[in-house]
Structure 1
């Protein structure tokens, strides 16, 4: 069981660490709001979505679903359009002093919608979950498989909470809003880059 837990921890951390749309969005929400609790909708949604994807991957359900060509096409198309839109919104977000102006842009409902979209409409993240975590889970059974899965899920929950907290600290230090303005531009570029990647997959 210890081996399964360590394997799940290292694997999940390795997949979640690279800079991606999901990480950028959660960090931004932590930075843009004055209180950490205000960013919880983004944190909880991203964590729950990852939990669902990991569970489906371990159970093998996602392999069957993604085996359908039209499902992949719809997923890629929706992801492409959403990332283009989200990049535009992020690029034009202009934090004022204390980042309060931009914070109004992301209401709890928008946070949930955006976090769910960048989690569930991100083919790259889904393929990683299915291909890496799903495949790795095949080496375990019974309690060990459960431990492996729970560890992967726990890493996501802790990571997103920590990411939002790091964003909150950064936002607190950035009183002028200049850093957040630059970060918004970089975030938009990351999102558009992901959109281009998806577009290549869609039209290849």
Structure 2
């Protein structure tokens, strides 16, 4: 049980920090763009990378020096593109969040692909799941229970994040609040992109 609890606490502490992925998940979930699909993709990716880190950390570390520069610049480009989109929506304005709109603007497959991109092109995901969580898990007496606890943390966080979107949608029905929300989302993504720039 100690390894299970350690996995849950360590993973939750790293995942819960609001970053580009969480901001994107919240934004899409508020719009009603297949939040269940988003949660399922994020949980699956997190769990897979945690397993990779716990059971294959030494192999992954051998490839990290070659992968990090490419992933970093791809991540910077993606985050900047998403930030520009958020700022454009904030500038143009809207009638506020329409919860009774005709439906999602993208298909479930398209949203799943976007979720994969925002997750896998973010170098922080690899740092948190493969390197940090993986290194702690590899030292546990029961690595399998640690992985289970970490997966439970990921499930808890993303299900909570997507399910609370309903309350936020009522708050963001105001056009002014919605423009502020898009502005904050854009700033968050730019800050994360800036933090990825090489020194």
**TM-score, structure 2 normalization:** 0.86
Contact 1:43–1:164 (CA under 8 A) maintained in structure 2: yes
Residue 106 to residue 148, structure 1, CA distance change in 2 (3 Å): same
Assess if the C-alpha contact under 8 Å between 1:50 and 1:156 holds in 2: yes
1:45 partner SS: helix
Distance between the aligned counterparts of 2:60 and 2:131, measured in 1? 13
Q: Any idea what the Cα deviations from partners look like across 1:95-119, whole Å, max 9, x if unmatched?
A: 5344357x75554333222211221
Question: Which position in structure 2 is the counterpart of 1:128?
Answer: 128
Gaps of 5+ in 2: none
1:185 partnered with 2:183: yes
Residue 76 (1) aligns with residue 72 (2): yes
Do the aligned residues in 2 keep the contact of 1:57 with 1:133 (CA within 8 Å)?
Answer: yes
State the alpha-carbon separation in 1 of the partners of residues 106 and 177 from structure 2: 18
Residues 31 and 172, structure 1, Cα contact 8 Å, conserved in 2: no
Q: CA deviation at 1:180?
A: 2.8
Q: Which residue of 1 aligns with 2:24?
A: 25
Aligned residue number for residue 111 of structure 1:
111
Q: Distance in 1 between matches of 2:179 and 2:109?
A: 23
Query: RMSD between aligned alpha carbons?
Result: 2.2
Partner of 2:148: 150
Structure 2 match to 1:87: 83
The gaps in structure 1 that reach 5 residues or longer are none
Distance 2:153 2:185 in 1: 23
Aligned-partner SS, 1:70 = helix
Q: How does 1:42-61 map to 2 (within 5 A)?
A: 42-61=38-57
* Counterparts of 1:119 and 1:43, CA distance in 2: 12
Aligned equivalents of 1:92, 1:113: Cα separation in 2: 22
Give me the TM-score of the superposition, normalised by structure 1: 0.84
1:27 Cα offset (Å): 1.2
The answer to whether structure 1 residue 159 and structure 2 residue 157 are counterparts is yes
**Structure 1 SS opposite 2:174:** coil
Shift in Å at residue 50 of structure 1?
0.8
Higher deviation after alignment, 86-95 or 185-194: 86-95
Show CA shifts across 1:40-94 (max 9, x none).
2211111111111111111125x53453333222211211111111111222235
Q: Deviation per CA, 1:132-162, whole angstroms, max 9, x where unpaired? A: 2111112224xx2111101101111121111
